[in-house]
Amino acid sequence: MNERIRAKQVRVIAEDGEQLGIMSPIDALREAEERGYDLVEVAPNAVPPVCRIMDYGKYKYQQSKREKESRKHQHVITIKEVKYRPKIDTHDFDYKTNHVREFLEGGNKVKVTIMFRGRELAHPEFGHAILARVVEATKDLCQDEYDPYRLRLEGRTMSMVLSPSR
């Protein structure tokens, strides 16, 4: 930009898109200053490098506005985790399953984890049963068919990820 351009010759494009030709960077900078703009190098790898006469501050502002607008229309899917225990009470199960339903309705993936302690590890079928109940309670919001009986213990946990149906 401006005095930092180090090429011997540059192709200059005016602010309205008109080509002004090939000239030295000093002449191009003088032309830009006469018009009240900046000289910005837009294609440094071209032969000769291409410079454009433009309002650099306005250009950066418009670029940041475009980036904000594109980020506004994105929906970031996050993975929420809900942890269950094999000997969970029905009220606690319902309460946590309602949270799973809320997360799925919000468009988030949900990782359902069963945590085992001590002698509970001897009965992984209790964990399979809990996961089957969760899948049954949320099947209208889930994308795929899940088979909780194919899951295995990974250390002291058993987990599956539910995807929303959107």
pLDDT of residue 86: 93
User: What fold, for 2-69?
Assistant: Ubiquitin-like (UB roll) (3.10.20)
CATH architecture of 79-162: 2-Layer Sandwich (3.30)
Asked whether the domain spanning 79-162 has the same topology as the one spanning 2-69, the reply is no
Q: How far apart are CA 31 and CA 28, in angstroms?
A: 5
pLDDT of residue 32: 85
| Residue ranges of the chain whose pLDDT lies below 70 | 166
Query: How many alpha carbons lie under 13 Å from residue 80 in its C-beta half-sphere?
Result: 19
pLDDT of residue 166: 66
Domain segments of the chain as ranges: 2-69, 79-162
